[in-house]
């Protein structure tokens, strides 16, 4: 499905409570050697615009892959080995539920974003009705990696929108941004 109509992505995102945002290859790969397998500036901008002003929940390894905490967002890091006394605004939570409770108690914009990595995506996906929106960038490549995103079950999720981007001199691969909503039928 390709839809080129203007899309108020902020309003659409804000109508959901807990969203996952991810970029994965055609074979599901999201990471290699603790980092992203690609540099795709349009997808990075999409991530930054989508999550700005909201809470971003991520696993400890994903947090450690960043140069610094994501600015203009409440960074909530899931870890059982770190303690919640950093003093730099980054919050540490020992479970997804406690991470969500921190986000709900904050005054940040909706939705609460779950931003990986593989361990966190798979646990969130397994919890049936926890997440109500998946924003997935499908990178048109087959990649060798060591971390994957789980399959989206089309019986449980409905593709609400998609946008195509061709490869160019700044993007080694083309990609499709997809918005999947939980199927409530």
- Residue 70 token pair: 């994501």
Member of 115, 124, 125, 133 binding ligand NAP (CB under 6 A): 115
Q: Is-contact 31 135, C-beta < 8 A?
A: no
| 3-class secondary structure, 58 | strand
Is the Cβ of residue 30 or residue 131 nearer to ligand NAP in the bound state? Answer: 30
Member of 17, 52, 60, 182 binding ligand NAP (CB under 6 A): 60
83 touches ligand NAP by CB under 6 A: no
Member of 13, 18, 117, 125 binding ligand NAP (CB under 6 A): 117
Longest Cα–Cα distance in the chain: 46
| 3-class secondary structure, 169 | coil
92 touches ligand NAP by CB under 6 A: no
C-alpha to C-alpha distance for 104 and 120, rounded to whole angstroms:
18
Q: By CB under 6 A, name the binding residues for ligand NAP.
A: 22-23, 30-31, 34-36, 58-62, 65, 78-82, 94-96, 115-120, 123, 147
């Amino acid at each position: 499905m390709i839809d080129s109509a203007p899309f108020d992505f902020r309003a659409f995102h804000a109508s959901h409570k807990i969203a996952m945002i991810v970029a994965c290859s055609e074979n599901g790969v999201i990471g290699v050697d603790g980092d992203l397998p690609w540099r795709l500036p349009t997808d990075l901008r999409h991530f930054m615009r989508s999550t700005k002003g909201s809470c971003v929940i991520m696993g400890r390894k994903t947090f450690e892959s960043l140069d610094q905490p994501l600015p203009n967002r409440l960074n909530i890091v899931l870890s059982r080995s770190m303690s919640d006394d950093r003093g730099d605004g980054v919050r540490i939570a020992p479970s997804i539920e406690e991470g969500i409770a921190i986000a709900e108690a904050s005054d940040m914009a909706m939705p609460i974003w779950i931003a990986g990595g593989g361990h966190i995506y798979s646990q969130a996906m397994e919890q049936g009705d926890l997440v109500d929106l998946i924003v997935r960038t499908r990178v048109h490549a087959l990649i060798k990696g060591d971390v994957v995103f789980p399959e989206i079950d089309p019986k449980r999720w409905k593709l609400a929108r998609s946008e195509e981007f061709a490869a160019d001199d700044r993007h080694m691969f083309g990609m499709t941004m997809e918005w999947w909503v939980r199927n409530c039928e």
